[in-house]
Amino acid sequence: MSALSVVKRFFGGLIILGVILSVRGSEPRTALIPMRDNGASAFYVEVHIEGFGSRDFLVDTGAGYMTINENTLAVLRTQDLATYVRELEGILADGTRLRMPVYRLTSIKIGDACVIRDVEVAVFPGTTRGLLGLSALRRTAPFLFSLEPPVLQLSNCFATSA
């Protein structure tokens, strides 16, 4: 389903091209980000990390932090685009406790429309898939997670590219 058809469906057939923008481009705006349903009640969006590139991230409103893996962190650190913040102990979905570092990223872009600066991310070992958790989503509050159609409505987004 194209982004335009998701927007049309979301707004009951109202034709809106692109995203909802404020009058001035430097002010925060609201963006509609289509999510991809993998068929197992898991929803994904493309996230572009400045200095790394784009990857699919699982949207996880139950995760306290956005997560990246060690390989992504290594690339970002070579460019001074990740700053160490602290270490935390996280509890995974299976109850396992894991100590992990938290870094601040310069910026991320969710979908093609929502740039967020200075996002804290927890770093998982190895090559694990990234999660788009509350440390990023909270920055876009108020936000809406819609299942039908699968779309994120994010506030406080900036238009400048990541």
Rounded CA separation 107/105 (Å): 6
CATH of the domain spanning 3-157, picked from 2.40.70.10, 3.40.50.300, 3.40.50.720, 3.30.70.20: 2.40.70.10
What pTM was computed for the model? 0.79
Rounded CA separation 83/75 (Å): 13
**In the chain, where are the structural domains located?**
3-157
Residue 161 confidence class, pLDDT cut points 50, 70, 90: low
Rounded CA separation 37/149 (Å): 10
Provide the 10 A C-beta neighbour count for residue 106: 17
Question: Residues 38-64: pLDDT tens digits?
Answer: 877 899 999 999 999 999 999 999 999
φ/ψ (deg, to 5) at 146: -110, 135
65: helix, strand or coil? coil
